[in-house]
Every structure is written in structure tokens, then in C-alpha cells.
Structure 1
Amino acid sequence: MTERRGRFSILGVLLGAFFITSVLGVGLALRLGLDTAYDNTRNLWIAMTHADLEDAQDAMRARIDRMQRRNLWVAREVAHGDLSPDNAAIWDKTLAALVTNELDVTAIGLLTPDGHFRGYDPKTDKPLSGKADPEEDIIARSLMAYGPGQSITQFPRWNSLVNQVVISEMIPLFQRGQYVGSLVQLVSLGDFSRDLKTDPTEAGRTPFVIVNEHVIAHPSLSDWHQLHPPENLGSNDILGVLPRIDDLADPVLARMKQWQTFDFDNTPSRDGTSGSQAAALETDDGYHVIITRKFEESAGLPILMGMHFDPTVFTREWERLKLATMIGTAIMVLAIILAVMIAHYFTRPLKRFSAATRQLETGILDNLPILPGSHIIEFNDASRSFNKMAITLRDRERIGRLFGKFLPVTIAQQLLAADDDTGNVQSHQCEASILFVDLVGFTTLSEKIAPQRIVTILNAYFAKATAIIEENGGIITQFQGDAILAVFNAFDEVPGHADAAVRTAVALQKLVHNHLFDGEELRCRCGINTGLLVAGNVGAPDRLTFTVHGDAVNSAARLEAKNKELGTRILIASTTFEQLSDPAQARLADEILLRGRSETTAVYTIPIDGID
């Protein structure tokens, strides 16, 4: 590969291209492209507000769901007799444990049948007790009349025990059919309204929460939950402690009845309801947009959450956009042309590199392209590294192919993947089926024809035999002259290895019966045995061979030789016969005494249609 001079850092090139295309071109083009910013930004703000309100509603609903689950759990425990309000120590500990880390709960406790509240304040970690408000006592008595039921949400109302407007979650408690009181959880609207994002620093957006024309959350309303109700606050004026919408210096809320609704791209809420509503109001200081959302879970007074903002800011943007239009058009066109030229020049090496890596991914290494050099230092280094990697991979693939010709493929892969070059493969013992195949009368044939033709005949035979053996999951460990030693389940797991060995022997018999090898007819005999063997390396440190050892291997060779005495083509040991999935395919050949054995053993043969 030709070395080139005058290379540049890719960082310098990218920074230069970024400055030319982005700062001069895209920056001005964006200003021109914002000619629809008025509507888009307004819709974006509406969508953001819609999402904020939906998140706030989900958070409120989640708070209520948690309170309801706590109420239902306590009601079940009391009904089953596992928890009793009469056992004050356990009752108080249980309630305290239920609201541990639940800072959104203002109070939790028992409203007794005689109208007293005995509970716990998680924020102060102190007990809370006193006479319940008449309204809560009335609600509790109405729940008692209905009997055991669901947890009921009542909000909002003033609670004199905590001196706040609260939401209450209440459930009647019954034990052995007797009403023992009601479990009440209180959440102040001050905590509840924090679910609405009320960051006054968000220019143009004013969030609010309204209950029956009373404001409970607004940027101009501070510490409203610490106010005390008037001395004569009655049950029909439970929100009198809160300012009304016309008490604040907010002209949009003060003129709530003059809001004019309009349609917008209102995505339904996650629970499938209609979502938010949009309205507009024209005031002395401009045109305002209001987005509101009702919190529907209220069993009493409805909560209205919302935000309003002044979109005149978009008008100012529109004026600036019109001013930039004339100037930006020419610069944008020039920047686009320049960006295309630069991108075309600098992406060509990447495209070549991408195409080469895709070809490399296919595993076909022979036709991998040689990547040219580049003026860009990083591109040039990548091309050079890729070319060297391709050469290394080709060499590794060639070594793997050569290994595979002299060793079982599985062993060759283990050696190539090893971290060292000792060539050592851990010996291991396993049960396997051994197939020993030998050609009949090949010695006599060798005496009649030239040695070179002998090699040709053997190679033709071995090529087809090897394919059959490997197709059935076998691995050839040795070629011994004209004989083949193959094992099944010694290296790779072969389910039904006895069947695989028998299937291979039958296929080999059909092979030699139906084919000529360089014009010569061959016949073979097969011996199959199943048993324990040891597979591993043997030899000197600098000259190793991989093979299998054991009596099971020797017995397979002896069975092959016994074919000549018994006039059979395939002999299998009883250990193999016992593992056949279809023993009926074999028939007993004889009871023989193998060399080295003290007792006779049954051997079986496999008849082959069209041959035997």
C-alpha cells in the first residue's frame, strides 16, 4: 500500500466541517426553517402542558391507590382477627409501619364509633388524637350503615386536627360482624398539589390548581396550607380558608368565566379519557392560552389543574424570522452545497470500509478488497489495520483448514482457541461407540497395481467414507493403512451414538457395494463396540498425535476381524446391541471368545437388503 503525505487529524477535519456547515449554514438555515415556529412552539408548549397535567393526574391517582391498598389491607387483617384496634400497642406500630417513608400522608388513624380520632402523624413521628370533625363522623357513620365495603375517597375538606384542607381516604372496619371504627388517611392539598410542576422560573407558563373557584396552588400563593380557618367556618364553607380566583393578581384566573375553548391536537390520556381542554382569553396585556384538566376521582368537589401562558413571545420570534429570511436563504444554499461536497469526500473511505467489513462478516476471505490509503490519518490507519487483519485471518483460516486435514475438526478448533502453543488437549474418559472399518483383500490388490494408483484408490474411498462418518456425527481418529478408526460421542456429544455407528456401517457397506473407486471394486468389514475409552494426546512433547485408547477400542478391531470367520460384513458387540433404539434390525451371529477375554460374548450382525 502506497504511503501518502499531508494527512490531517479527523478531529481537525470534523471541527472545520462543523464550523462551515453548522455555524455558517445550518445555524442560519434553522432560523429560516423556523417560519412555522409560531404554531409549532405553541403546540409544543400545549403538548408539554398536557403531559405535565397528565403526569400530575397520574401521580395524584397513584397516591390515592396507595392509600386505598393500605386501607383494604388493614380492613382484611381486622376482619380476620389478625389485627385489632383494641390492642393499642400493635395497632399503633402497624399504622406507623404502613406509612414509613410515605411523607405524602399527613395523618393515619382510627375514627372510633364514639367520634374520636386516634392516629399517627408520620411527618412529626408523633401520635395524633382528638375529637373528629362532625363531617367526618357523619361520613363514618354512613359507611358503617353500608357494612364492609370498599375504601372511599372524600375530598377536599377542612380538618381541624391538622389545620389544613385535606383529602381523606376512609374504610369501615368490622371484626366478627361488629363495627369497630373506620380507618382514615389524610393527605393535605398542599402535599397533593406538589404533583403539579409549579416552577415559577418557567417563563410564560403559570400553573394552578383550583377547587370550586378556590386556589390551592399558584406561583403567587405561598404557604397557603399554614393559614388558619376563620372562627366561624362551617361545614358549608370548608374551603373558605383558601383565596378565591379573583383574590389573586392573576387576570386570567379572575376572568375564568370568559375563557373561550378551542380545538387542538389533543392526544387522549393514558387511561383513555378525553385528556386536556384548551381555552383562550384576550386581556389588556395580550392573548393567553389556558390548558386545564379535571381530576375525576373526586367524590366531593372537583379539582381543576391547569396552566396558562402568553404566546406573544412567539410573535417576537416571528418578526425576527422574517428579518433573517432574506439573508439566510443565500447562505443556506451555499452551506448545503459545501456540506454535500465535504460529506461526499469524507464518506468515500467509510463506504469502502463498510463494504469490506460486510464482506468479512460473511466469512468469505478470498476476495476481500485491499483498502487504499487516505490523507486522513485515522482513515489511513484503519485501512492499514484492516488489510493486515485480513492477511492474518486468511493465514488463520488456512492453518485451520490444514489442521482439519490431519486432526479431527473439533480438536483442531480447540488447539487454535487455546491460549498457548503446547498443543495439549486434556485427556478425558467417556462412553462412546467405536467403528473399525477395514478393506477386504486390499493387500492382494496392492501387489497387483502401482503404488501411486493405490494412493488414488484409497483417497477416493476415504473421501466418500469420511463424508458418511462425519454426516452421522462420527470423528475419524486414525487412518491405519486401508483401515479407518472412527468414534461417536468421544468429543462432541452424539445422542444415540450406538445407532449412529450402526447407521454409518450400513452406509459404508452400501457405498462399496454400489461404487467403483478409480475403476476398482472394493469390499469392507465393520466392527462396532460401545464402552469406556480415553481420548487424548500421546507422543513426545514435540511430536504429538491424538487418538483414543482402551479395551473398547481394541474390541472393535477384533470384531472387525471376526467377520472373516463368521462370513459377515458387520459385527456389533452386545454393549452396542443393548443401546440400539431398534434392536430388531440386528440378529444374533454367534457366541465368541474375544482375545484377552475369559468368557464368551454374544455378537450381532446387521443384514442389509440387496447385499446380504
Structure 2
Amino acid sequence: MTQKIRTSTHYLAAMILLTVYGGQVCPLIDTLTLAHWGTLVAAAFIPMALLRMWLLPRLLNRVAIYDQPGRQFFFDLGLFLLFGSGLAVYNTVHLGFSVFESGPKVLLGFLIFGFFSGLDLALERERANGLTIIRENISPPETVRYTSLTRKFSGFALATVFLAGTVLILTVVKDVYWLTDVNFAMEGSRAQLLIVAEIGFIMLVLSGYILLIIASYTRNIRLFFGNETSVLRKVREGDLTRRVPRLTADEFGEIAGHTNIMIDGLIERDRIKNVFGKTVSPAIAGRLMDREKQGLSLGGSIQPLAILMCDIRDFTARAEGNPPEQVIEDLNRWFTEAVEATNSHGGVVDKFIGDGILALFGLDGEMDACEKAVACARDMLARLDRLNQSLDTPISVGIGIHKGEVLAGIVGSPERLEFTVVGDPVNTAARIERMTRRLDADILVSAAAHSDLPEGREWRDFGEQSFKGKSQKIRLYGL
């Protein structure tokens, strides 16, 4: 409905203004009465409007929605030129006007109003099509015609300057011709006022049309930028489900396309991050991401950590006596419980070693790392008791906890990196875990870890124990 109302308004305004324009730029047309010339202009506009109403929908249906605004502009401009040429021919044949005196001026008038009217209607079509593209999520075809914004602006500016300048020159020439018949002594002041009024009227009309085009284009830009910024706002909030519809085949469409590529890249980044976060703990993944910003390099730093080593007892026999699928399923169910227990107590699962788990506490410098490690071990055993109620073959584990300074950092090669901890305390924690079988204890902690635990909990003192490869004995405590 907006397009029809806008078209009717433009045609009515152009018809009225062309009626006034004819007498201002052409001395021959000025010899006709206003009613006579107005009737001739109306006789050109009525069939032009009917032809447009019938032909335009059929023409636009044949082209892509992105090409419709440009096609409509040239169609409207062509209609004005066609019927303007017809009126110029009529003036020459039936009224006897000079073909070089009146015809070009009539054609220029139709060209001016056809240009501005067609451009405004094309901008309205572009906006309406943009809303349709957003609503129906239409994508541009491969063959869409690309027109740069600089080309559009340059064309509009050059056409406006040319048309406005030509009309003003013709008006001045006509007034100079008219002044030759004026008695300046009698009518000089009146003649000056009339000339100023004519030029002022032309400038007012041209300025009005230019402002109208600027307003229409500004409204379209508001739609384009609003369309872009609304999606970017969602992206900033973490919503990557939206895409920017490409409303035009110019730089705005290019920006929308690049924004969508960026969103796809963010989705791929999150997908990789999600997979990465499942292969290593989120805390370690975060550390690697932080190191990557500074340039990943091998090496690390010495940190005091509480180290928990958990291993399934008699796993080899279990693997031999059960189907592989069942072994993997039971193992994954246990790992799920163990990882949840570790995370809930502020620990980090560094890696899975076969059927064993290496967990770290104190990576962020917590003072109660050993206490958290023991709480995690107790939670693991409680979860395992519940899990065993649903398993055909119960799982039994041993847990060893030790405290010491380790090298925490990135190891490997430039092509394959891993964040881990290296040092004697890690090996000691593994040996303490193995000692749980011989001492018949589910949880064993070293004296170094035990010294950081709060008093009041009953621990069994197993005394100093010897370990293979260790020159010094280690006192162990068990629950």
C-alpha cells in the first residue's frame, strides 16, 4: 500500500510541477494558458500511470528481489522519458513549436521528475524488499548484480548537479529573453522580483526532492545498520544462532556476508573449544588458551600441588573376564563419577592413564589443597559404592595422595603440546596408590599431605614405608 500511495503522490506532484515548470523555462509554452498546458501534461501522465500499474509487476516478477529496486528505477525513468518525448513531439506537430526550442526543455522536465521520483520509489522498494528478506530469510543468488555504494553516490551527485544546473541555466536564458521586452523604467522592479521568485521556486523544488531522497536513503541505512547491529548485539551476548540477512547487493550486503562468516568462525571456535574442553579439564584448557594468546612455548613453572592418583584394582583380570564393550562402558561410568567428584572439590583432572586418574589440587595456589584432595577421595569412594550397585562386576579402587613441588607447564613438541605436571611427587603419588593394595587401605596419604590436614579426623598411621627407586622412606596414613 505504501508503494501505491507514494507513486500516486509522486505522479500528482510531478504533473503539477511540470505544468508550472513549462512556462518558466520555455517562452513558447509560456504563450499557452495554464489550463491548456496543464491539460496536455495530464494527458501524458494518465496513460503513463496506467501503463506503469499494468507493466511494472510483470517486469519485477522476472528478476531477483535484489535486482528489483534498480530495475524499477530505470523503468520509471524510462516511462517519464517516453511520455515526455511524446509530449514534445505533440507540441512540435500540433502546436507548431520549434523542435529545438521547446522539445528538449519538455524532455528535460520529464527527465528531472522521472529521476527523483524513480529514485525515491526505488529506495522505497529496496526498504520493502529488505523487510521481506528479513521475514522470509532469503539469500542472494550467485548471479545477483553487484553495485558499489560509491558508484551509487557518484551517479546521484553528478545527475543532481547536471539537472539542477541545466534547469537554472534554461530559466536564466528564458528570463533574459523576456527582459528584452520589458520596459525597465516602468516594470524593472517587478521583473526583478519575478525572476527571483522563479529561481527561488526552482531551488525550493529541487532542494525538496534532494532532501526527500536523503530522507529515504537514511531510512534504508537505519534498517541496514539496525539489522546488522541487532545480530552483533546477540553475538556479544553469546547467541550465535542468528544470521545477518543480506538486504542489498552492495557494501552493506558484503558486510552482512562477512559478519555471517565471522559468526560461523565463532561457532567453529566454540565447537573446537568444547571438544578441547572434553579432552582436557576446563581449567587446563583455560590455561592453554591463556598461554596461546602470548604464544605457546614449551616449559612451565614450579608449583606446590596436592596430587591424587586413583587406579582400579585388578583391572587386567577384569578386562580378560568381561566383554570389551562392557569393560569400556563400566570404565566410562566410573570416570564420569570420578571427574564430577574432582570438579566439585576444586580439583583438575590432568589426564587418564589407562584405568587410572591423575588429579591436581592447588593449581591456583589454594592453601587447603590437601584437604580438598582428601574430600575428593572420600567422595569418589562414596560415588563408587553407589555405582557398584548397578554393575555386574563391582569396581575396587585405590587412591594415593601426596604433596610436593612439581613442574606444571607445557610439554611435548611444537606440533603436539600437552599441559601436565612433571616431577618426583607425581611418581610418589603413583607409588602410594599402589601401596593401598599391600596395606589394604582405600586411601593413603603421605606425611607431607597429612601435615596440611585439619586435626580431629582418625587416621591410621602405617609408619614409614619403603618404595622402589626411593632412597628415603615415606610415612603413610590411611583411612
TM class, shorter-length: 0.5 to 0.7
Counterpart for residue 240 of structure 1: none
> Are the counterparts in 1 of residues 298 and 412 from structure 2 also a CA contact under 8 Å?
no
Counterpart for residue 7 of structure 1: 147
> Are the counterparts in 1 of residues 307 and 361 from structure 2 also a CA contact under 8 Å?
yes
CA-CA distance at 1:563 after TM superposition: 1.8
Could you tell me how far apart the structure 1 residues matched to 2:224 and 2:151 are? 16
Q: Secondary structure at the match of 2:350?
A: strand
Counterpart for residue 496 of structure 1: 368
Could you tell me how far apart the structure 2 residues matched to 1:441 and 1:566 are? 16
List per-residue Cα deviations over 1:210-255 (Å, max 9, x = no partner).
xxxxxxxxxxxxxxxxxxxxxxxxxxxxxxxxxxxxxxxxxxxxxx
CA-CA distance at 1:591 after TM superposition: 0.2
Counterpart for residue 507 of structure 1: 379
What's the TM-score, normalizing by structure 1?
0.43
Correspondence 1:524 to 2:397: yes
Q: CA RMSD in A?
A: 3.9
| 1:531–1:414 Cα change, 3 Å | closer
> Are the counterparts in 2 of residues 509 and 523 from structure 1 also a CA contact under 8 Å?
no
CA-CA distance at 1:426 after TM superposition: 2.6
Could you tell me how far apart the structure 2 residues matched to 1:332 and 1:578 are? 88
> Are the counterparts in 2 of residues 538 and 547 from structure 1 also a CA contact under 8 Å?
yes
Could you tell me how far apart the structure 1 residues matched to 2:291 and 2:438 are? 47
CA-CA distance at 1:579 after TM superposition: 1.3
CA-CA distance at 1:444 after TM superposition: 2.4
Matches within 5 A, 1:461-610: 461-490=334-363, 492-516=364-388, 519-520=391-392, 521-580=394-453, 582-595=454-467, 596-606=469-479
Counterpart for residue 372 of structure 1: 246
List per-residue Cα deviations over 1:278-337 (Å, max 9, x = no partner).
xxxxxxxxxxxxxxxxxxxxxxxxxxxxxxxxxxxxxxxxxxxxxxxxxxxx99999998
Of 300, 317, 327, which aligns to 1:427? 300
Correspondence 1:363 to 2:235: no
| 1:575–1:340 Cα change, 3 Å | same
| 1:419–1:450 Cα change, 3 Å | closer
Q: Secondary structure at the match of 1:398?
A: helix
| 1:370–1:417 Cα change, 3 Å | farther
For structure 2, list consecutive stretches of 5 or more residues without a partner in the other structure.
1-139, 161-204
> Are the counterparts in 1 of residues 284 and 348 from structure 2 also a CA contact under 8 Å?
no
Matches within 5 A, 1:3-402: 4-9=144-149, 341-365=216-240, 367-377=241-251, 379-402=252-275
CA-CA distance at 1:415 after TM superposition: 4.0
Amino acid at match of 1:443: T
Higher helix fraction (1 or 2): 2
Could you tell me how far apart the structure 2 residues matched to 1:351 and 1:405 are? 38
CA-CA distance at 1:431 after TM superposition: 0.4
Q: Secondary structure at the match of 2:360?
A: strand
CA-CA distance at 1:11 after TM superposition: 11
Amino acid at match of 2:379: A
Higher strand fraction (1 or 2): 1
> Are the counterparts in 2 of residues 536 and 547 from structure 1 also a CA contact under 8 Å?
yes
List per-residue Cα deviations over 1:321-376 (Å, max 9, x = no partner).
xxxxxxxxx999999987775444332222221221122112243x2325325244
| 1:528–1:10 Cα change, 3 Å | farther
Q: Single out whichever of 503-512 and 356-365 deviates more from structure 2.
A: 356-365
CA-CA distance at 1:6 after TM superposition: 5.0
Greater C-alpha Rg: 1
| 1:529–1:564 Cα change, 3 Å | same
Could you tell me how far apart the structure 2 residues matched to 1:428 and 1:517 are? 43
Could you tell me how far apart the structure 2 residues matched to 1:538 and 1:2 are? 50
Q: Secondary structure at the match of 2:475?
A: strand
Counterpart for residue 315 of structure 2: 442
Amino acid at match of 2:442: R
> Are the counterparts in 2 of residues 555 and 594 from structure 1 also a CA contact under 8 Å?
no
CA-CA distance at 1:389 after TM superposition: 1.0
Give percent identity, aligned residues only. Answer: 24
Q: Secondary structure at the match of 1:446?
A: helix
Could you tell me how far apart the structure 2 residues matched to 1:495 and 1:513 are? 30
> Are the counterparts in 2 of residues 433 and 487 from structure 1 also a CA contact under 8 Å?
yes
For structure 1, list consecutive stretches of 5 or more residues without a partner in the other structure.
21-329, 607-612
Counterpart for residue 43 of structure 2: none
> Are the counterparts in 1 of residues 465 and 476 from structure 2 also a CA contact under 8 Å?
no
Q: Secondary structure at the match of 1:530?
A: strand
Could you tell me how far apart the structure 2 residues matched to 1:355 and 1:518 are? 51
CA-CA distance at 1:518 after TM superposition: 6.6
